[in-house]
């Protein structure tokens, strides 16, 4: 029977086989063993500090008769404990092709820091079982030996999660309190599962995740791209199929009921949330901030200055997330509610970062917005009297590896220490003689007082160096190196409604006609010293680094010919930025938390 979601038939594709068995197979036997204290999964890994009961390949029944498989780690005693669920497609206990070992420099995480029993982007049982929790690593529907076909987020995966939570809560070792935790897909799944309101789910900890795969990933700004999705799917294993979201995007290139089903409904989440966000992720930035902005339940937002995999096993992060879980899964009286609701970081690039900046709201309502106008000399306080235009070759084949060209630069020099915090927008007047549509990409960056462009290092250089990755070999990929917030827009899909989920009707641009585009940037937090520069870049290709070396050169331009950017006279192209002043920052800065964000 064809799969339908929201009344729309879904295109699917086969996964790599996880084993010689087929989808109807019962799979391997469920087993239980005791992992003794001091046990190491492999040489050099973190040893266990306590005895752990390991229930492997446990069956979890779903409402339609499908069985999922889970690996459960729990204390070796008779105490009833809460469970932390890590739900994902990557292989439940180190069985995936994706692992820290596949990341450059192991993302700065030493081999000895984790046990190897963690699922990719999930919590380590060696850390959490001594804290009085069970870890439940679940292979989502269709993954590994879990039966069925993989669902790509949305209400279907949410319903599966509901059933799994209620089953885990009924097991004899569980105290009936369930939490969820994890990064990327493991965070995205939490949004949709929590929106189903399973009774025994008490709290969630989404540690960065996309919230709307159409508007934030596959078709951000109306520009289609499935390169990263195709890369991830090529690594997944199972005995069935997966929703082919890339094919669905070609079949349904504008928002419809299928895509709206994939958009997290944060208003339906009723449990407390510990939300992690970063400016540097790119993939997950918009979704993480939207989670905080649209949730109504109690929630806490931490905007960290690192990379999620490195941060996931950081002692400070583990201790803080543990306090959150203790409060809502164990009813601990630990004053968690006194934790500031919003704590931000600011990236210094060539200066120390600022961390744990307490804000009253997000985006900061106290920010003043400064408008800077494109001019022949950069960014000016007023639009030039005369009309000007500058051009770039829009169909340049970008590699996204720090070697690209065909980018316009406009800079503004700060006359005092300044802090850019929140959302910027740029309004551009553009035209193209060779095409009836334009894909326009923008990025903000930082340059030093001499005009040298800077990058922020997402993971401390020392951590990468210790894992055998020399500074001069650090690849230009997004998880490691960050230039600044980005924006993008296909001119024919420029918004006609404030509703990001609203359907848009393509409005092609007659060749040569000048069209006004307003492009929002992702959230940013940037620190500028006096005489340092903010740089606006405009191009016909993405300017952030690729997510993986495997994606260098994967970008396929849809543009044709030269793009003209018009400014001055009646074409007041401008950049609008949110700024906080020194007094607002000094009031809340925790100077002990400042860290160097090294420049390459």
Q: Are residues 580 and 441 in the same domain?
A: yes
Q: Are residues 374 and 302 in the same domain?
A: no
d(CA 239, CA 17): 5
pLDDT for 44-70, tens place per residue?
Answer: 999 999 999 999 999 999 999 999 999
What does the pLDDT read at residue 260?
A: 98
> And the tokens for 555?
């970008």
Average pLDDT over residues 111-116: 97
**Which one of 311, 333, 355 terminates a domain?**
333
d(CA 372, CA 452): 21
pLDDT for 124-137, tens place per residue?
Answer: 999 999 999 999 99
**Which one of 271, 306, 333 terminates a domain?**
333
**Which one of 278, 310, 333 terminates a domain?**
333
Q: Which residue has the higher pLDDT, 240 or 17?
A: 240
Q: Are residues 162 and 304 in the same domain?
A: yes
d(CA 515, CA 431): 6
Average pLDDT over residues 473-481: 96
* pLDDT above 90 as % of the chain: 88
Residue 361: inside a domain: no
d(CA 462, CA 470): 9
- Whether the pLDDT of residue 534 is over 80: the answer is yes
Sign of CA dihedral 374, 443, 430, 451: positive
Surface-to-core class of residue 205, CB atoms within 10 Å of its CB (0-12 exposed, 13-18 middle, 19+ buried): buried
- Whether the pLDDT of residue 593 is over 80: the answer is no
Q: Are residues 324 and 394 in the same domain?
A: no
Half-sphere exposure of 374 (CA within 13 A, CB side): 26
φ, ψ for residue 191, nearest 5 deg: -55, -50
What does the pLDDT read at residue 93?
A: 86
Four-CA torsion 401, 407, 412, 417, nearest 10 degrees: -10
Q: Are residues 122 and 251 in the same domain?
A: yes
**Which strand (E) or helix (H) includes residue 463?**
helix 461-466
Task: List residues bridging with 409 in a β-sheet.
Answer: 537
Question: Is residue 585 within 8 Å of residue 528, measured between CB atoms?
Answer: no
Find all residues with CB under 8 Å of 309, minimum gap 6, and list them.
100, 103, 107, 109, 121, 183, 479
Average pLDDT over residues 346-361: 96
Residue 269: inside a domain: yes
Find all residues with CB under 8 Å of 1, minimum gap 6, and list them.
none
Average pLDDT over residues 221-235: 91
Provide the b/e sequence for 473-504 (b: ≥16 CB within 10 Å): ebbbbbbbbbbbbbbbbbbbbbeeeeeeeeee
Q: pLDDT band at 506, cuts 50/70/90?
A: low
Q: pLDDT band at 581, cuts 50/70/90?
A: confident
What does the pLDDT read at residue 388?
A: 98
Q: Are residues 323 and 384 in the same domain?
A: no
Sign of CA dihedral 221, 225, 231, 236: positive
What does the pLDDT read at residue 470?
A: 97
Residue 354: inside a domain: no
Q: pLDDT band at 16, cuts 50/70/90?
A: confident
At which residue do the structure tokens 């639009």 appear? 383
Question: Is residue 88 within 8 Å of residue 182, measured between CB atoms?
Answer: yes
What does the pLDDT read at residue 498?
A: 58
Surface-to-core class of residue 300, CB atoms within 10 Å of its CB (0-12 exposed, 13-18 middle, 19+ buried): buried
Q: Are residues 301 and 401 in the same domain?
A: no
Q: pLDDT band at 566, cuts 50/70/90?
A: very high
d(CA 213, CA 441): 19
Question: Structurally, how many domains does the chain consist of?
Answer: 2
Of the candidates 218, 253, 210, 537, which has an alpha carbon nearest to the alpha carbon of residue 398?
A: 537
What does the pLDDT read at residue 95?
A: 67
Rg (CA), the chain: 24
Residue 243: inside a domain: yes
Question: Is residue 62 within 8 Å of residue 165, measured between CB atoms?
Answer: no
Q: Are residues 320 and 376 in the same domain?
A: no
pLDDT for 438-463, tens place per residue?
Answer: 999 999 999 999 999 999 999 999 99
What does the pLDDT read at residue 24?
A: 46
Residue 389: inside a domain: yes
Question: Is residue 273 within 8 Å of residue 287, measured between CB atoms?
Answer: no
Between the alpha carbon of residue 556 and those of residues 224, 396, 551, the distances in Å are: 10, 9, 11
CATH number for the domain including 430? 2.60.120.260
pLDDT for 281-327, tens place per residue?
Answer: 989 999 999 999 999 999 999 999 999 999 999 999 999 999 999 99
What does the pLDDT read at residue 17?
A: 81
Domain extent, residue 142, equals 4-333
Q: Are residues 149 and 285 in the same domain?
A: yes
What does the pLDDT read at residue 495?
A: 73
CATH number for the domain including 65? 3.40.50.1820
Residue 157: inside a domain: yes
d(CA 324, CA 327): 5
Q: Are residues 516 and 434 in the same domain?
A: yes
pLDDT for 143-194, tens place per residue?
Answer: 999 999 999 999 999 999 999 999 999 999 999 999 999 999 999 999 999 9
Question: Is residue 599 within 8 Å of residue 349, measured between CB atoms?
Answer: yes
Residue 576: inside a domain: yes
What does the pLDDT read at residue 600?
A: 30
DSSP code of residue 231: H
d(CA 416, CA 443): 22
pLDDT for 193-218, tens place per residue?
Answer: 999 999 999 999 999 999 999 999 99
Q: Are residues 240 and 299 in the same domain?
A: yes
Q: Are residues 307 and 403 in the same domain?
A: no
**Which strand (E) or helix (H) includes residue 583?**
helix 582-586
Question: Is residue 137 within 8 Å of residue 143, measured between CB atoms?
Answer: no
Residue 262: inside a domain: yes
Beta strands in 448-589 (DSSP E): 456-457, 481-482, 486-490, 515-520, 524-528, 533-539, 562-567, 574-580
């Amino acid at each position: 029977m064809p799969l339908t979601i929201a009344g729309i038939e879904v295109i699917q594709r086969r996964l790599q086989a996880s084993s010689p068995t087929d989808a109807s197979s019962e799979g391997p036997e469920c087993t239980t063993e005791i992992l003794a204290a001091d046990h190491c999964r492999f040489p050099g890994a973190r040893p266990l500090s306590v005895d752990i009961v390991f229930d492997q390949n446990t069956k979890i029944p779903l409402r339609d008769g499908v069985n999922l498989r889970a690996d459960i780690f729990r204390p070796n005693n008779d105490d009833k404990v809460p469970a932390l669920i890590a739900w994902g497609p990557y292989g439940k206990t180190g069985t995936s092709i994706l692992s820290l070992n596949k990341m450059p420099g192991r993302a700065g995480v030493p081999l000895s820091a984790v046990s190897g029993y963690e699922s990719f982007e999930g919590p380590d049982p060696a850390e959490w079982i001594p804290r009085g929790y069970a870890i439940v690593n679940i292979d989502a529907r269709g993954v590994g030996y879990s039966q069925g076909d993989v669902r790509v987020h949305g209400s279907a995966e949410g319903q599966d999660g509901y059933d799994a939570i209620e089953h885990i809560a009924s097991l004899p070792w569980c105290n009936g309190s369930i939490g969820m935790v994890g990064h990327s897909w493991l965070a995205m799944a939490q949004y949709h599962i929590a929106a189903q309101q399973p009774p025994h789910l008490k709290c969630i900890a989404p540690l960065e995740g996309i919230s709307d795969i159409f508007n934030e990933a596959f078709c951000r700004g109306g520009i289609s791209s499935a390169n990263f999705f195709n890369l991830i799917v090529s690594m997944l294993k199972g005995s069935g199929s997966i929703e082919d979201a890339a094919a669905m995007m070609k079949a349904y290139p504008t928002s419809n009921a299928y895509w709206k089903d994939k958009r997290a409904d944060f208003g339906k989440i009723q449990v407390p949330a510990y939300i992690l966000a970063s400016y540097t992720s790119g993939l997950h930035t918009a979704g993480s901030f939207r989670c905080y902005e649209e949730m109504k339940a109690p929630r806490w937002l931490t905007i960290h200055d690192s990379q999620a995999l490195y941060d996931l096993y950081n002692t400070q992060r583990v201790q803080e997330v543990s306090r959150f879980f203790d409060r809502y899964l164990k009813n601990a009286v630990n004053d968690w509610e006194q934790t500031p609701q919003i704590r931000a970081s600011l990236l210094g690039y060539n200066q120390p970062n600022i961390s744990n900046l307490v804000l009253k709201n997000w985006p900061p309502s106290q920010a003043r917005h400064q408008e800077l106008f494109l001019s022949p000399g950069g960014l000016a306080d007023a639009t030039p009297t005369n009309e000007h235009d500058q051009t770039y070759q829009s169909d340049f084949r970008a590699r996204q590896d720090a070697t690209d060209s065909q980018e316009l630069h406009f800079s503004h020099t700060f006359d005092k220490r300044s802090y850019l915090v929140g959302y910027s927008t740029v309004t551009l007047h553009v035209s193209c003689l060779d095409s009836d549509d334009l894909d326009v990409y923008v990025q903000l960056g930082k340059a030093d007082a001499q005009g040298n462009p800077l990058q922020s290092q997402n993971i401390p250089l020392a951590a990468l160096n210790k894992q055998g990755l020399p500074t001069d070999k650090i690849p230009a990929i997004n998880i490691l190196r960050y230039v600044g917030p980005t924006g993008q827009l296909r001119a024919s899909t420029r918004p006609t409604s404030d509703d990001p989920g609203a359907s848009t009707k393509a409005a092609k641009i007659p060749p040569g006609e000048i069209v006004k585009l307003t492009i929002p940037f992702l959230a940013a937090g940037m620190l500028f010293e006096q005489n340092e520069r903010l740089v606006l870049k405009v191009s016909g290709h993405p300017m952030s680094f690729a997510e993986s070396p495997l994606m260098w050169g994967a970008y396929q331009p849809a543009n044709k010919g030269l793009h003209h950017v018009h400014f001055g006279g009646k074409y007041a192209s401008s950049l609008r930025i949110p700024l906080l002043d020194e007094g607002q920052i000094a009031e809340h800065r925790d100077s002990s938390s400042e860290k160097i964000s090294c420049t390459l």
